[in-house]
Amino acid sequence: MNDDQGFVAAVLRELAASTAVILAAWGALGGATNALTTRMRLRDALRHILLGGLIAAGMGSLSMALVTFWLGLPPETIPAGSAAGSAAYLVGVFGPAFIEVALARLKGGRGGAEGDGGNA
């Protein structure tokens, strides 16, 4: 019985220390920030939180390279370990919105507000 508990504890420790899980957590916090600042419905807020986490975890260290390019930072900042959480957070904030705009444009809309005829 103790062997099973030791195994589960070891798996949970490894999962908590996983880079992907840490990045997903920061991305989810970024998605939550996006949802709170734009005052959306609960369903949409949960979608943004989930998308923020998934995008940040899926992008991994690529998110730091994109944020470095986007902000015009020197390339030496890419391997900065503590900056990975910050990059994941920014990806979580802006990633879901970027995907929504891209999908709206693919569907034929312009990504404008509802009711304005697609003219932003």
Q: What is the pLDDT of residue 118?
A: 46
Nearest to 78 by CA among 95, 93, 66, 89: 66
Give the pair of three-digit tokens for residue 74: 């020197």
Q: Which residue has the higher pLDDT, 32 or 16?
A: 32
Number of residues written out for the chain:
120
Q: Where are the domains of the chain?
A: 2-106
In the chain, % of residues over pLDDT 90: 6
The pTM of the whole model exceeds 0.85: no
pLDDT digits (tens, 9 = 90+) for 51-79: 988 888 887 777 777 777 877 877 777 66
| Tokens (6 digits) for 52 | 């923020």
> By three-state DSSP, how is residue 110 classified?
coil
Single-letter residue type at 118: G
The pLDDT value recorded for residue 112 is: 54
Tell me how far apart the terminal alpha carbons of the chain are, to the nearest angstrom: 63
Question: Picking from 43-52, 72-81, 102-111, which range would have the lowest pLDDT averaged per residue?
Answer: 72-81
Classify the C-alpha dihedral 100-32-30-22 as positive or negative. Answer: negative
